[in-house]
Structures are given as structure tokens and as C-alpha cells.
Amino acid sequence: MYEFAVTPAVTQIRRRGVTITEVDPGSLGAELELEPGDRVVKVNGRLVRDYLDFRFHTGGETELILDVLKRGGEEWEVEIVRGEGEDFGLQFENIAPRQCANECLFCFCKGNPPDARPALFFRDEDVRLSFLYGNYTTLSSITEDEMNRVVEQRLTPQYVSVHATDLKVRAYLLGVDEKRADISDKLRRMMDAGIEIHAQVVLCPGINDGEVLRRTVEDLAAEYPRVRSVAVVPLGLTRYNTDERLTPVTPEWCRQIIREVGALQRDLKKRLGTNFAFLGDEIYLRADVDVPGRRHYGDYPQIEDGVGMVRSFREEFGRLLKQVEKKGVRDAAGLRGTVLTGKLFAPVLTDLVGRLNESSGTRLKVVAVENRYFGEEIVVAGLMTGQCVEALKGELEGEFVVIPKTAHKSDEPVMLDGTRLDELEQKIGMPVRALDLEGLAELVCGG
């Protein structure tokens, strides 16, 4: 099957077609009497594997024939003439991700507690999710069918975990042989087709740093602008990943990486007009070095990988402070609560929230969360759990607690350890609000 093309990763068999989950009232789909539970199997004779296929096969077409398998088992052939750009008003089932068949040395899934939710052990390796959400793929097991699809449907950009251009090192990191580790032809085929590449290096001390990292950055920079950027992010080790081949990240190592990559950035800036290789914020924070200014990051090409997120947050928080000073706030002086964040970001947030308190009269307290679930080496805010928050019960002040919006599922109020927000509220005896910066602004400014 398409989604599970590598034999070791096959876990389920998908039915043909893509299931409709919602039909907007009054839409073209409603006029065609399509219903939730119906499956679109073909468009103009072409097989449909998911909603990306449906979007591609129907895009720009005004005359269409849909092969539909009704939820009751009846097969329909629906002929359609629609206006140019007219929307079907259909929502479809989520993509079932293709699983990864690598055995990456540093895979975060290996660092989960044994009793973690099953979903946390799922390792995706899917070019569709790379295009849609910026998920990284190694391309080590991409099939010809997938490659053709990326090119034909122009699924650009693609986010690729390169880690090292030295094949021996890359094969070692991915747990595969050198033949499978070599993706140079695949990358070139994508780039020749106009697919933009954003690369990632998960940096493991003593393995792909130093000269290996320098060569990796230079090799990728040689393909600029087809390879648009490289994110260099540090290895994350939990207390459950005890592989002796991996070395924990230290402040001294981070400072060394900043010096080495900084020299590369200066040279690349002269040659290419861009820093090209960007360090993850965690490296600066662990090194106790200020993150670079806004201009350093350009258009923030890898912000979803934690590259430039602190600088962007500072800029946005500055706008919030100006908003507070300009329009005033409603009942802000009575706003008292605790804002939780990771140990690494706590000093930054404490400074910013202190300025907010001075400007608005709010009484918000920032508390750094020690990660008791994954271990003390995990210091980022988005990986805090209900257990971590519950352990801080005695330090929580005010009428509510704020946790990062990223600390629970996007579609369900459940944290990584399975704790629901309503359960957490009962345990700590306080309302819990999962907010991003925009949500915090609404809280302070009254919407």
C-alpha cells in the first residue's frame, strides 16, 4: 500500500479511496448528495489515495467524473460540471502516516517511558506530511511512487533530515546501510523538478559535529537556493535513552558549536547573501548566549524546528507590550496567575512577563518546570506533562495556571503523559489555560 511501502513498517491495510467526513450545507458536494462516510475512489479514472490526490485531480477541472463508494456499499459514478474554482465543500479523513523503517540512533521515540501512550511510539516518514506540516523525512526509503507524486503534484517544499553528507556517518546515525543512506540522486531529482528543500541536522556530540558538520553545511550550501536552508538542532536525550554511543549536550559543547557555525555563517553570508545554516534556539540558551537578532533569521525558514522561535517570541511580546501601553487593559490589575514554561526558556519569559506586570498591573508569576517525565535533560516547554505540573502544586499562585499551547495535542486537551486538562485542574485545584502568545494577549487585554 502507498502509506506503508516499506515492509518492516506495514501495520495496517488501507481501504481504497478517501472517506468524506463532512459536507458543507448548500455546497456542491451537498447538491451531489455526497454524505459523510462515502468514499471517493477515483477522479476521472485516476485512483484517489487521500485528500491530496483528490485536490490534485480536481484542481482546475470543470468537468469531472467521480467514482464513489457509498457508505451503504453502493457504487456511484457522479458526473459533474462546476464553475471555475467552485469548491466541493467536502472535508476528508486525515492522512494515515507512512511509518519510518529506519533505526535512528537518536530517535526520540526510543526515549519514551515504557508505559507512554502508544501514539508516542509512532515514527512517521511521510513526504505528504513534510509538504503539509513541515515534518522531516530522511528520504532513505522513499518509493518510486512517492517520488513521482512529489514531482507530479509539486509537493514543495520538502523538509529533509540529512544529518550528515558523509555517507558512513549518515548510515551510522540512521541505522541503515550506506546504499540506503545515499539520497543524493533523490535530492537532485527533486531539486531538478523545482522542489525546494529545507534540510535538518540533528547534531550528536562526537558523531556528526566538527569537520563532519562543516562538510555537511558546505555540501548543502553548494545547492543554494535549491536547498534553501539548514537547521542545526541538538540531540535530545531523555532518561530512558541510555545508548552508550550518545553523549549528552553540554553548555561548553554548545558554545563551541556557536563559534564554529558562526564562522561558517559569516562566510555564507558573504557568498550567498544569507546565513543559510541556522542553529536551534536550544543551543544558544544552553550556552547562555543571547539569541541572534531578527535580521539573522531572514524569513524564519525553520522556525517550526525551534530555530528563531525565541527571537520571534521576543518581537511578538514587544508588540504586546506596545498594545498594552497604547490601549490600556481591562481589569488587568486584578489578573493574578502562574505561567509555566521549560527550564531553558524560563529566564527569557521571566524578564518579559516582569515588563508586562510593570506595564499592565498584572501579577503573573513565571515558574520553570522540571521535566520529571522524560528527565532533567529535557528542558523545552512543549514537552512538559501533567505529572510535571502536579509536582509544582505548592508553587502555583493566583487564580489560574497557564501552560504552553504546544504542551497538549492540537485536537484534544491531552498532555503527553495522557493527563487531560480537566483532570489536571482537579489535581491542582486551579483552572488551567493552554495559551500561545496571542491567547495571553487576549487574556491581558480583554480580547
Helix, strand or coil, per DSSP, at residue 121: helix
- Please name which of 326, 401, 344, 362 lies closest in space to residue 353, comparing C-alpha atoms: 362
Report the percent of the chain where pLDDT is more than 90. 65
Higher pLDDT, residue 120 or 205: 205
Whole-angstrom CA distances from 338 to 22, 40, 329, 366 are 39, 49, 19, 6
Residue ranges matching CATH 3.80.30.10 in the chain:
108-307
pLDDT surpasses 70 at 203:
yes
Per the structure block, which three cell numbers stand in for 95?
492522512
Which numeric CATH code is attached to 7-92?
Answer: 2.30.42.10
Residue ranges matching CATH 3.40.50 in the chain:
312-445
Q: Is CATH 3.40.50 what the domain over 312-445 is classified as, yes or no?
A: yes
Per the structure block, which three cell numbers stand in for 339?
505561567
Whole-angstrom CA distances from 322 to 97, 314, 325, 356 are 43, 12, 5, 10
pLDDT at 331: 54
Model pTM score: 0.88
Placement of cell 472517506 in the chain:
19
Q: How far apart are CA 22 and CA 89, in angstroms?
A: 8
Residue ranges matching CATH 2.30.42.10 in the chain:
7-92
Instruction: Give the mean pLDDT of the chain.
Output: 89
- Strand ranges (DSSP E) for 168-237? 197-203, 227-234
Q: What is the pLDDT of residues 175-189, one digit of tens each?
A: 999 999 999 999 999
Residue pair 234/264 in contact (Cβ under 8 Å)? The answer is: no
**CATH superfamily of domain region 108-307:** pyruvate-formate lyase- activating enzyme (3.80.30.10)
Q: What is the pLDDT of residues 238-263, one digit of tens each?
A: 888 888 999 999 999 999 999 999 99
Whole-angstrom CA distances from 93 to 12, 40, 97, 129 are 16, 11, 12, 14
Q: What is the pLDDT of residues 46-59, one digit of tens each?
A: 999 999 999 999 99
Q: What is the pLDDT of residues 18-34, one digit of tens each?
A: 999 999 999 999 999 99
pLDDT at 145: 92
pLDDT at 48: 94
